[in-house]
Amino acid sequence: MPRKLKLDIEYVPEFSIIGLVSAQKDYRLCWLLNKQLDTDLKRLRDFIFRPEKNRNPGRFTVFHYALPHLMMRCFLVSNKSSETTLLAEPRNLDYLFLLKNPKEQFNIKDISERLRSIPPVEAAIPLITDSKKTSPFLYDFELYLGKALK
């Protein structure tokens, strides 16, 4: 009888995540980020995420900006909805600033400092993408992007 091989594939996120703490509304924070970072974040349809099967799904606002010459994308995603949160740790994160396919010339610490310099942003924390905590959210977010960016 032939031996069975088990293939165990671990998802490796292509995102760098900066957690933001700010009491501003999402559209106002987006406008401030556009001014400070010289971007043009545009709103996409809401991201719907259900962390567990027995919970209600949460709706999260998403803003998007593409840097096509660098093959990189930036996203501002609300971390909290009325039902759930995307990332529970650290506790008080209001928004997630995601960089998809970050290039070497972008230093996450420098971007965090620029984000922290915006007056209504109380904190900008670079987060380590631990696959156990972030992969369910990032995996679903990648699937969402396939539909939302068409």
- Indicate if the pLDDT at residue 105 is higher than 70: no
Distance CA 41, CA 47 (A): 16
For the chain, domains (ranges, CATH) are: 15-148 (3.30.310)
- pLDDT at residue 109, rounded to an integer: 84
Distance CA 90, CA 88 (A): 6
| DSSP state letter for 120 | T
**pLDDT tens for each residue of 38-77:** 889 999 999 988 777 657 788 899 999 988 887 888 899 9
Peptide bond into 68 cis (omega under 30): no
Tell me the pLDDT band of 92, cut-offs 50, 70 and 90.
Answer: confident
- pLDDT at residue 125, rounded to an integer: 87
**pLDDT tens for each residue of 2-25:** 788 887 776 666 788 899 999 889
Sign of CA dihedral 23, 72, 86, 41: positive
| DSSP state letter for 99 | E
Is the overall model pTM greater than 0.85, yes or no?
no
Distance CA 95, CA 78 (A): 4
**pLDDT tens for each residue of 20-43:** 999 889 999 999 999 888 889 999
| Tokens describing residue 50 | 């259900």
Read off the amino acid at residue 71: M
